[in-house]
Structure 1
């Protein structure tokens, strides 16, 4: 199996999901990733109790930390810092999401890390970027990515009594981690071709702005002419394409149609819905007529879909030519044949030898899904990593007695 980052070593001083998820992606691309955790507490996310566990398997930790090795290290001690420097000497990448105040206190700034390795690529994940009044402040994807950068505004109907939250846990974090991974890959290529190591920055704000970029650009273009319109308002106020929208089934489920070229797919859709007579109906027999009478066509499409249950449409629409999708929940997604066919969910053994599954990172090389390995238990590889850093058994024991390592 081709893993293009085989031979790359990364040292990660980061916690939670945004930023560590990048390291998880890189392990599946072949890199060795060493996760440096607090010597006593470990990654703060290990203590989160509102997420399911089965034995040692904790999805919120396994997802961003797959394939890594973990060392528990007190970076506030001289000995701990010396060990970190030893780990850095032959590393290609240093990755952190610590706040600027913590980076300064622990001497994890660019100039500090490059004292140990002048050629290392230095990568920072942050909430709000490295400049401006908010650079010193932390944030999570629910705040900095979802709410501040427009996604919450875009999906929350104007008459909603509450702001709609992210549809899933670590939603923005996972996208952000993937973005960081791409930045690291580009920086590695840049160093290989120019000899210059980059400083790479990705923030939850920058990822959120990129995800919302089209709406932001549109708003900027029409600034002063009209107020920005959310996707909810747009769908409600400009129904010119009856083949785009969410349609309710007889049992209260939903089918999505996203046929941007509505007239191109209209006849085929009518045949699948048992509405053959609409194909030659003069209200809908040209693209212009269909747009002009979109409301009437949409009502007929809605009525047809409402006449059958979700399971019927899930099977019956398989041969539909235009883009569509069943609106699925987690269990249906896990059992979706396309997930298995493409290797989008991967099996592996957890630390207790139990078969588990995780969602694969979305990039594949040479038409083959990357292998997925479990995440490390807290400080699981401390002794091995200390030996690799040149510490003797006696030194390792003393470091544990002194509280420098876990």
Structure 2
């Protein structure tokens, strides 16, 4: 790891993470990029099960063995391998908890009780620790102990897939960790608020964030309007029925797409038509106001379609550059690496893995004092076990004993 975290707003804060996969670990990654020391507690055998997605062949590794699905939610952390099913393993965890400010977990309630990592267990070790639970469906109700992933609890149960697909279409499949990474950022914000409360009042907090609750929040306008009007909002599948011709996607001659997003149609109408070479529409009295353009929107959209289809994307980028309204090329993920705004603001940074391989990875979007985030790579399984225990005051002889009895890696 060649780079260090620049943002230090949480310098001096220690976070203890007993979590797997992406949802809650993503919160630890954000907190690490904000300057906190984040200790990832992984199972002694095998580590975070997400590590195994590459070794099992379910997800390919990148050149140089980059395990991107581990790097994204675990950048900047330290790793310790602990068997929490053992007495010694729990002793080690509680020792680490004594000096921690925050405890993160996404284990189910039944697993937390079995492993001794529930609220009461951690508060006995440290009464001031902020206890954070990330869950699929929330801490209450009949599904509180039911498992879930973002593809189930966020994407499907939370209504995201329906909102994007509609009633009759085959559901749109979820992208990897789509809700997880947003949930991690949400948790990090909650942790920051709880730290401020504790600093101001001396009182600690229990924080709960669920994937289901996150989905409801993301779909706020749709969920609210659905009950008000008694029907589910449906995505507009017929482009000719879009209410505003200046809001939508238009295909270029080379098969690329340009998105127009000008909600104040009347304000931008003359400017857009002029740039598109459709000045003759400006003299049409039936298109003189928003109501007229709405009534004939299908015909207008057809004309705009024809205009965009007459030139390739590169030409349209030059033509539309002076447009004062909002528009964009519909970009691919790989194109984000070369996006001028992404580069200027440091939204993707170069990271070096433990074996020296360099790759580009997005950082969390929060910047403090215009300082760009400099991410570090994810740790190897159990990489910092001895270091962390020695810093916690555990004697070397005890570390050797814990290793021999299988409590730690």
TM-score bucket of the superposed structures, by smaller chain: over 0.9
Aligned to 2:23, the other structure's residue is in SS state coil
Cα deviation for residue 148 of structure 1 reads 0.8
Native 8 Å contact 1:39 1:74 kept in 2: yes
Query: How far did residue 213 of structure 1 move?
Result: 1.0
After TM superposition, list the pairs within 5 Å mapping 1:100-115 onto structure 2. Answer: 100-115=109-124
Q: Which of 193, 199, 213 is the matching residue for 2:206?
A: 199
Cα distance between partner residues in 2 of 1:158 and 1:81: 49
Provide the rounded CA distance (Å) in 2 between the counterparts of 1:363 and 1:351.
Answer: 26
- Which one of 277, 289, 302 corresponds to residue 292 of structure 2? 289
The answer as to 2:193 corresponding to 1:189 is no
- State the TM-score, normalizing by the size of structure 2: 0.94
**Would the alpha carbon gap of residues 29 and 210 (structure 1) be closer, same or farther in structure 2, given more than 3 Å must change?**
same
Is the 2:64–2:357 contact (alpha carbons within 8 Å) kept by the matching residues of 1? Answer: no
Distance 2:282 2:126 in 1: 69
| 4+ residue segments displaced more than 3 Å | 235-238
The range that moved more, 327-336 or 278-287, is 278-287
Question: Normalising to structure 1: TM-score of the pair?
Answer: 0.95
Structure 1 stretch displaced more, 324-333 or 206-215: 324-333
Deviation at 1:56, TM superposition (A): 4.5
Residues 242 and 248 in structure 2, CA contact (< 8 A), matched pair in contact too: no
Shift of 1:240: 2.5
Q: Distance in 2 between matches of 1:12 and 1:240?
A: 48
Does the alignment pair 1:392 with 2:395?
yes
**Residue correspondence of structure 1 range 83-162 to structure 2 within 5 A:** 83-160=92-169, 162=170
Alignment check: 8 A CA contact 1:154 1:232 kept: no
2:39 matches 1:30: no
How far does residue 290 in structure 1 lie from its aligned partner after superposition?
Answer: 2.3
**Deviation string for 1:328-370 (max 9, x for gaps)?**
1121122111110111001132212232221010101111212
1:15-35 deviation per Cα after TM superposition (whole angstroms, max 9, x unaligned): 000010000000010100000
Q: Which region of structure 1 is more displaced relative to structure 2, 4-13 or 348-357?
A: 348-357
Q: Is the 8 A contact 1:156 1:232 kept in 2?
A: no
Deviations 1:73-130 (A, max 9, x none): 0111111111111101111100000011100101111111100000000000000101
CA distance in 2, matches of 1:38, 1:56: 22
Distance 2:239 2:254 in 1: 23
In 2, distance between residues paired with 1:310 and 1:345? 24
**Mean Cα displacement is larger for which, 151-160 or 4-13?**
151-160
SS of equivalent to 2:286: coil
Q: Which residue of 2 aligns with 1:45?
A: 50
Per the alignment, residue 21 of structure 2 pairs with 16
The gaps in structure 2 that reach 5 residues or longer are 1-5
Taking structure 1 as reference, are residues 64 and 2 closer, same or farther at Cα in structure 2, changes over 3 Å only? closer
* Residue correspondence of structure 1 range 268-287 to structure 2 within 5 A: 268-287=271-290
Cα distance in 2 between the residues matched to 1:61 and 1:347: 16
RMSD: 1.6
In structure 2, what is the Cα distance between the partners aligned to 1:94 and 1:239? 48
The DSSP-based 3-state class of the residue aligned with 1:137 is: coil
Q: Confirm or deny: 8 A CA contact 1:34 1:70 kept in the other structure.
A: yes
Q: Give the direction of change, closer, same or farther, for the CA distance of 1:58–1:315 in structure 2 (3 Å limit).
A: farther
Quote how far apart the aligned CAs of 1:317 are.
Answer: 1.9
Q: Write out aligned runs for 1:234-383 (5 A).
A: 238-383=241-386
Name the structure 2 match of 1:71: 80
Residues 40 and 156 of structure 1, relative CA distance in 2, 3 Å threshold: same
CA distance in 2, matches of 1:395, 1:240: 70
Structure 2 residue aligned with 1:6: 11
Instruction: Tell me if structure 1 keeps the 8 A contact 2:352–2:376.
Output: yes
Secondary structure, aligned partner of 1:246: strand
Superposed displacement of residue 159, structure 1 = 4.1
Whether 2:177 is the aligned partner of 1:170: answer: yes
